[in-house]
Amino acid sequence: MSSSGFLFANYVPGSSVVHRAPLSLKFVLVLGCGMASFLIADWTVAAGMLALMCGLFLLSGAGPARLLRAVRPVLPVLAAIGLFQWWQLGGPTAARIVLNVLICIVAASILTATTPVQALLDGVASLGRPFRRFGADPERFALTIAIMLRSIPFIAGAYSDVRDSARARGLERNPRALVLPVFITTVAFARQTGEALAARGLGEAEDPEA
C-alpha cells in the first residue's frame, strides 16, 4: 500500500534536547497550545507563536519536509475556513483562527516526532491510572489510541490506492468506484484487527461474575 500523508509527524529517532525532554513536558506543551488557541486574540501573536513552534520542531532534527507533510493534509480545509472567516469577520480574525489551528498541529507533531509510539502510549496509560477509581481502564484507552494510530493511516493509504486505480481507469468521478472499494478494505481491516485482538485476549469486556 502506498504511503499517504497524515496529520502529525511520525517519530524520528534522535538525541536532540526535544527528544530528551520529559514526556510530561511535551504533553503540557500540547495542552498549553490548545488552551492558547482560545486565548490569543491577535494574529501577530499567533504568528510569532507558530514560528516558535516551527523552530522547536526543526530543533528536533525532523526537518522542514517532514513538517510540511504533517500540515499539508489540512491546508485545503484551513484555506476554506480562512476564506469564510475573512468574508464574515475580516482578515485579522481569519488569520488568527488559521494560525491557532496550525499552532496546535505543529505542537502535536513535536510530540509525535520526538516520542516513540510505545512511550507515548505508556504515557497515556500512566496519565489515566488515577481514574481507575472511577472505573476507567487506562490500558484499554491506550490500546484504543494505538489502534487508531494504525488504522487511520491505513484507511488514508487505501483511499489513495483506490483513487489512483480509479483515475487510471477513468473513473475518478464515479463515487461508487471510490467509496465501495475503500469501504470493503476498511471492513476487512477492522475484522482482521478484531480477530487479532481476540486471539490475544485483548479488547474483550471482563465478566463481572468471573
pLDDT digits (tens, 9 = 90+) for 133-181: 777 666 666 666 666 656 656 666 676 777 778 777 777 677 777 777 7
Buried b / exposed e over 173-207, threshold 16 CB at 10 Å, is: eeeebbeebbeebeeeeeeeeeeeeeeeeeeeeee
The answer to whether the CB of 178 falls within 8 A of the CB of 163 is yes
Mean pLDDT computed over 197-209? 54
Indicate whether 210 pLDDT > 50.
Answer: no
Give the Cα separation of 129 and 136 in Å (integer): 8
Would the pLDDT of 207 be above 90? Answer: no
| Cell 487508531 belongs to residue | 148
Q: Higher pLDDT residue, 4 or 196?
A: 196
- The letter for the amino acid at 101 is V
Task: Report the candidate in 130, 134, 143, 124 with the shortest Cα–Cα distance to residue 201.
Answer: 143
The per-residue pLDDT for range 33-59, each reduced to its tens digit, is: 888 878 888 899 999 999 999 998 888
Give CA 81 to chain center in angstroms: 19
pLDDT for position 45: 92
| Predicted confidence (pLDDT) per residue in 55-111, tens digit | 988 888 877 888 888 788 788 888 898 899 899 889 899 999 999 989 988 888 888
Could you report the per-residue pLDDT of 186-195, keeping only the tens digit for each?
A: 777 777 766 7
Please give the C-alpha separations between residue 123 and each of 77, 86, 117, 127, 182, in angstroms, as whole numbers.
31, 39, 10, 6, 33
Question: What integer pLDDT is reported at residue 170 of this predicted model?
Answer: 77
pLDDT at 52: 92
Reading the block at residue 7, the C-alpha cell is: 496529520
Is pTM beyond 0.85? Reply is no
* Confidence at residue 3, expressed as pLDDT on a 0 to 100 scale: 46
pLDDT at 114: 86
